[in-house]
Amino acid sequence: MKKVRKLWACMLTVTVLAMMLAGCGQNSSTSDSAVSEAPAQEETAAAEEAPEAEAPAAETTAAQEGTSGETTYAYQANKEPVTLSIYISDPGTVWEDWGENPVSQRVTEATGITFECVAPVTDDDTKLSMLISSDDLPDVVTDYYNNSSWDTMIKEGQLCDLEELAREYAPELLNLVDQEAWDACRAADGHVYYLTSCFYTTKNLELFKKYNGIVQSNQPCLVVRQDYYEELGSPDITNAQEFMEFCEKLQEAHPDHLPFYTGSLTTTGPSYLAYLFGVGSYYVDENLNVSRAYRNPAYLDMYIWFNEMVNKGLVNEDSFVDEDADKDAKIAQGLPSSFLYNVAYTGAVPGDNPDTTYYPMKPWDTYEQVRANAGYIRFGISQKCKDKAAATRWLEFGNSPEGAEIMCLGIEGSPDEEWSGDLINGPHFYYEPDGDKGTMYEGFVNARLADWVGTRAITGIEEYANYVTVDNWLIAQGRVISSDAMNQVNEWFNPYVRFDNGLSFNLAAGSDELVINQTITNLIKEYHVKWAFASGEEEVRSLFDEFLKKCEDAGEEKLNAYLTETYAKQGGKTPTPLH
């Protein structure tokens, strides 16, 4: 057991906290509709070309061959100072303080581009809606992949065709972004109005596999206090019932702690609980009929189990009301004996025992995660953009080797160096001997773990690429650490992860299907707490039947017909059982 303890203690030095509430492709929504929901391209009206501002007289419109034979990109050929406005959907990000951290400074130095951030004051989506309705979009628009506003902007002709802009202003962008990504973002009319960050391609998946990076620090998992786990004999837990029995023992041994905690995840739906039971956002039956996840028989089993956990006092009200700050405070104090979140919390030290850490548990036999490769944040250039050439150069820079290095890795050093302790000047990373991977120094990783919010504000590393860099490998490579610990996590979870790009849906704004989907999501929010706090299994089943009837009345048949038809068009196949 000492060997295992040492292995997981080591992970404190090699894991990085997940970005944006668990990182790329995993926007931390707590509703059932967003566990793995992903968008696809809907039929859209062709955007009419708006009058375009004249490009600067000195504009270079193509990458050229430099004297050394290396490619000279458009952003390198034209570094005239320009300020672009950019919409960021989350308030309080580093975008609002452009120029105050070294990454933003280096971006401006490399491109001449400075950004003026347009963002909501509070965490809602009304700001973008107002900008769309007033036809006053900023130069560059970004938002999460599953925001239906993208469909609206395309139908209203408010976004430019990025391929056309690339051909005119930065041809190398066409090569820097993999053709698979261009095609995945292509609308029904043949144009590409946005690209998406954190996209997996055939090529980069091979790199993720090579470096044991399919499973990263944002992998959903159960996390347990190591001291309590060892105290109870380090049991091998393979299913929900065994975990419940383990939590009962935790409750008996440590009644002043929370046996199991799901705070910030289960406020409006099952969220990561679904992975434990092999339930995603959608259910595909043997005839390839697609519906929302609640039609999966395991969905009801999940809530019967969760209800029993609540009734036994193994889960309390905090798991249904706590937000992120509450969750982090409880974990820092060591209050949860076990909790649900992700691998990134491995190595976290509970405040009441500095000699132990939290670490992940093996996945249950029922665990399954389906990834639809939808990306993370979409980005486009508006027809109102005052300098489309500069905006296109920004996209080119963000997908170039130099851009990825500046924004995702920091200052380069050598493999035989160590991090100096200087957040600003680094060095922060080194390239592996084969040259196809940059790796962050252990000391820098530790500094990020110790103060994630502070270091990201000071350095800016990995804060901007999610809004412009398509290739997920370019973004994630620095934190894909080849270590015994991460190799172990990949060994555990890899068999339980599969890709299905057919499960990528983007319901058209204003469509009946979107209204039905939202109605069902609201019903899940309503019944989530009812199921959890029901008197017992009989009432859970009764309430579930009541819920299903309301879903039918809401028009789920029409929604399911759309999901099934779209799944077939996108090459969906009968899922192969993982276990």
pLDDT beyond 90 at 186: yes
pLDDT band at 484 (very low <50, low <70, confident <90, very high): confident
SS3 label, residue 553: helix
> Domain span at residue 148?
73-202+375-399
Residue 220 sits in the same domain as residue 363: yes
Residue 169 sits in the same domain as residue 235: no
Residue 147 sits in the same domain as residue 177: yes
pLDDT of residue 480: 84
Residue 395, CA distances (Å) to 106, 263, 474 in order: 16, 37, 14
Instruction: Give the whole-angstrom CA distance, residue 27 versus residue 376.
Output: 7
Residues 419-468 pLDDT 10s? 999 999 999 999 998 877 999 998 898 788 777 778 888 999 999 999 99
Which of 399, 415, 434 is the C-terminal boundary of a domain?
399
pLDDT of residue 21: 33
pLDDT beyond 80 at 576: no
Residues 103-125 pLDDT 10s? 999 999 999 999 999 999 876 66
Residue 105 sits in the same domain as residue 183: yes
Residue 351 sits in the same domain as residue 225: yes
pLDDT of residue 210: 87
Residues 499-528 pLDDT 10s? 888 898 888 878 999 999 999 999 999 999
| Domain-embedded: residue 65 | no
Structure tokens at 551: 């879903």
Among the ranges given (42-51, 270-279, 498-507), the one the predictor scored with the smallest mean pLDDT = 42-51
Q: What angle (nearest 5°) sits at the alpha carbon of residue 339, between those of residues 333 and 344?
A: 85
pLDDT beyond 50 at 31: no
Residue 268 sits in the same domain as residue 197: no
pLDDT of residue 14: 39
Instruction: Give the whole-angstrom CA distance, residue 338 versus residue 227.
Output: 11
Average pLDDT over residues 403-423: 94
Is the C-alpha dihedral spanning 547, 552, 558, 562 positive or negative? positive
SS3 label, residue 28: coil
pLDDT of residue 13: 39
Using only C-alpha atoms, the chain has a radius of gyration, in whole angstroms, of 24
pLDDT band at 577 (very low <50, low <70, confident <90, very high): low
| Domain-embedded: residue 56 | no
pLDDT beyond 60 at 278: yes
> What is the count of structural domains for the chain?
2
Question: H-type helices in 312-420, by residue range?
Answer: 318-321, 324-333, 388-398, 401-404
CB distance 347 to 449 below 8 Å: yes
Among the ranges given (37-41, 359-363, 412-416), the one the predictor scored with the smallest mean pLDDT = 37-41
pLDDT beyond 80 at 66: no
pLDDT beyond 80 at 22: no
Average pLDDT over residues 90-108: 95
pLDDT beyond 80 at 348: yes
- Residue with the two structure tokens 């276990």: 579
pLDDT of residue 510: 83
Which of 384, 399, 414 is the C-terminal boundary of a domain?
399
Q: What is the pTM of this model?
A: 0.72
| Domain-embedded: residue 465 | no
Average pLDDT over residues 2-13: 39
Instruction: Give the whole-angstrom CA distance, residue 105 versus residue 219.
Output: 32
Average pLDDT over residues 469-477: 95
| Domain-embedded: residue 393 | yes
Instruction: Give the whole-angstrom CA distance, residue 63 versus residue 553.
Output: 57
Residue 276 sits in the same domain as residue 164: no
pLDDT of residue 571: 80
Cα distance from N-terminal residue to C-terminal residue, the chain? 28
Instruction: Give the whole-angstrom CA distance, residue 369 versus residue 544.
Output: 24
Question: H-type helices in 254-375, by residue range?
Answer: 273-276, 297-311, 318-321, 324-333
Residue 269 sits in the same domain as residue 393: no
Residues 548-566 pLDDT 10s? 999 999 999 999 999 999 9
Among the ranges given (49-53, 413-417, 473-477, 553-557), the one the predictor scored with the smallest mean pLDDT = 49-53
Instruction: Give the whole-angstrom CA distance, residue 527 versus residue 307.
Output: 12
pLDDT of residue 485: 73
Structure tokens at 274: 């679904």
Structure tokens at 223: 């996390």
pLDDT beyond 50 at 81: yes
Residue 346 sits in the same domain as residue 238: yes
pLDDT band at 45 (very low <50, low <70, confident <90, very high): very low
CB distance 420 to 490 below 8 Å: no
b/e map of 322-359 (b: 16 or more CB within 10 Å)? beeeebbebbeebbbbbbbbbbbbbbbbbeeeeebbbb
- A 10 A CB-CB count for 254 gives 16
Residue 261 sits in the same domain as residue 337: yes
Residue 350 sits in the same domain as residue 262: yes
| Domain-embedded: residue 500 | no
Average pLDDT over residues 561-572: 91
Residue 115 sits in the same domain as residue 226: no
pLDDT of residue 504: 84
Average pLDDT over residues 271-282: 95
Name residue 199's beta-bridge partners. 471
The CATH number of residue 336's host domain is: 3.40.190.10
| Domain-embedded: residue 282 | yes
| Domain-embedded: residue 17 | no
pLDDT band at 356 (very low <50, low <70, confident <90, very high): very high
pLDDT of residue 37: 37
Tell me the percentage of the chain whose pLDDT exceeds 90: 69
pLDDT beyond 90 at 574: no
| Domain-embedded: residue 31 | no
SS3 label, residue 27: coil
Average pLDDT over residues 161-183: 97
Instruction: Give the whole-angstrom CA distance, residue 108 versus residue 83.
Output: 10
